[in-house]
Amino acid sequence: MLREYRPSWFFPDLAAGVTLGAVMVPVGLAFGDLAGLPLAGLYAAMLPLLVYVFFGSSRQLIIGPDATMAAIVAVSIAPLAEGDVVRLAMLAGMLAVLIGLVCIFGSFLRLGFMADFLAKPVIVGFMHGLAFVIFTGQLPKILGIQGGGDTTLSQLVTVCRGFGAANGVTLTIGAACVTIILVCRHWFPRIPGQIVALLLALLAVLYLELERYGVSVVGEIPRGLPTFHLPIPSLADLQTLIPIAFAAALVAFSDTVVTARGFASRNRYQVDANQEMFALGIANIGSGLTQGIPVSGSGSRTAVAESTGSRTQVTSLVAAVAVGCVMLFLTPYLYHLPEAALGGILVAAAYNLCEFGEFRRMWRFRGAGFFGALLTFAGVVGIGVMQGIALGILYSLVLVLKALSFPDDAILGRNAEGEFHDLKRYPEAREIPGLILYRFSGPLFFANCGQFRSRVEGFLDAIQEPVKAVILDASGVINIDLAACELLSEIHEGLKNRGTRLEVANLRDFVKEQIFRGWEGSQDEPSLFFKDLNAAVEAVERV
């Protein structure tokens, strides 16, 4: 980056970094507050940014605390602390370290492809479920009432019961902050809505003395930079944190790579998924060792940096320094920041996670994806964040296994031009008397051998006239295992006993080599294999 750095980029990077640093202060406070550790959100906005500069492959991606990681801490980690803030800080820091170790280990194993593992319906359902969890958790702050409840649904019930006691001034502040942020995001994207909302809320409390009307404020924020601290959990805590760390690492890495790739594509450069995994791991370890919460890539803050002229990761350096300056010199000015403003920032962030049109798209494309998104959403809201992710991944695996076990297949016919097509989709194609032309598309392996056998036997039983040959169009067979080789041998012998030939056409060289290794004697019968369907049909017609 430094070798290619142009002097003309410095002032745009500087301006973008200052703006980004100003945005990360209220956002860091809000996400930290969501996790139950307001300062931890600010601490996570410093060292991780610096670390990513040296290890990340994206020129623009901004690393830091975000709604997803903060919500995971709030929902999955906070209950373990049982109200002990010191213990919560230790557990959150340890979770960040574990996430970092998982990512680093994954980068050494070249597992960058895991970014594509979370299916679209799972991501959509998870994000909307997370948005609902965040929204419900912030309602007591925005309404100025007492919250409570162990689950999201119980929290919502508590809010509904206490709605009549809502503080009108607090509600006005929270609603105004949400409105300002969303209006700026939609119509004035170059204006940082979070900063505008924070400043206006702060000034309103100061000059209108709104604390007299029951408006809660953040209060004193300790001045100074974070110190290095190694979180040391008990063995029981470690056993609880490890599975959460694996799930959180997958979510954080997927979100990070998707964001990095999106901005890289728009600006015509490439990112290395494995390098991104490594950088995210180092950043999380840095956050955990400096009393921060887990971090990931932030699409909204990356967009803020880009819209204000960011060209390189110098922006991150400047932003980290800006946040550090706030922590050293400006924390007394945040004393009167209303809690409702932080709640409003989080509600706006939750809304930004939602793309309601995606549900409509999935419903129109395929109902299975829509159902998967709803299942993940219901799991996140009704059971828990990690459990919701697990449900979504399990559902995705079921869909994958179903697709592999029941791949697309077709009986082929020939049209007037001599081309072969699916009889169901091309009515002009006609069956060739005495022949079954069967196309199987997908890997042929143990999980679908039964389906393959059933289909072939079903076609044979359905034809009244004698069958001269069954011709397999293997153009779509991309792989084959030993069980499938044995199946082909059994089908070959069974057909031979009834006076019918088995022929295989359009076989890939790699698959053919596998068949020769797994099907003993197949090399001794060259009449089994043909380069295309025409050659196979002609061979039968010549007999």
Alpha carbons within 13 angstroms on the beta-carbon side of residue 444 total 28
Residue 321, phi then psi, degrees to nearest 5: -65, -40
Give yes or no for a contact between 279 and 237, defined as CB atoms under 8 angstroms apart. no
Q: What is the DSSP letter of 338?
A: B
The CATH class of 409-542 is alpha beta
Query: Measuring CA to CA, which residue among 494, 473, 488, 471 is closest to residue 541?
Result: 471
pLDDT of residue 117: 65
- Matching residue, tokens 């373990």: 80
Q: Where are the domains of the chain?
A: 12-400, 409-542
pLDDT in tens, the chain (543 residues): 777 888 888 888 898 898 888 888 888 998 999 899 989 999 999 999 999 999 999 988 999 998 889 989 988 899 899 889 999 999 999 999 999 999 999 999 998 877 766 677 888 888 888 889 889 988 998 999 888 777 788 888 999 998 888 999 999 999 999 999 999 888 988 788 888 998 999 999 999 999 999 999 988 888 889 999 899 999 999 999 999 999 899 889 988 887 888 788 777 888 898 999 999 999 999 999 999 999 998 877 887 788 777 888 999 999 999 999 999 998 898 899 899 998 998 888 888 878 888 888 989 887 888 998 899 899 988 887 778 878 888 888 888 888 888 889 999 999 988 899 999 999 899 989 889 999 999 999 999 999 999 999 998 888 878 899 999 999 999 999 999 999 999 999 999 898 899 999 999 999 999 999 998 878 877 678 999 999 999 988 876
Q: What is the per-residue pLDDT for 64?
A: 92
Q: For residue 526, what pLDDT is reported?
A: 66
Q: How many residues does the chain have?
A: 543
CB 384, CB 76: distance < 8 Å: yes
Show contacts of 16-19: CB within 8 Å, 24+ apart.
16/305, 16/306, 16/308, 16/309, 16/310, 16/315, 16/318, 17/305, 17/310, 17/314, 17/315, 17/316, 17/317, 17/318, 17/319, 17/321, 17/322, 18/318, 18/319, 18/322, 19/192, 19/304, 19/305, 19/308
Which helix (DSSP H) or strand (DSSP E) does residue 297 occupy?
strand 296-297
Orientation of helix 10-35 relative to helix 120-143, angle to 10°: 70
pLDDT at 450: 92
Give the SS3 label for residue 298.
coil
Nearest Cα neighbor of 6 from 308, 307, 314 is: 314
Q: Which amino acid is at 138?
A: Q
Q: What is the pTM of this model?
A: 0.77
Task: Tell me how far apart the alpha carbons of residues 351 and 525 are, in angstroms, rounded to a whole number.
Answer: 65
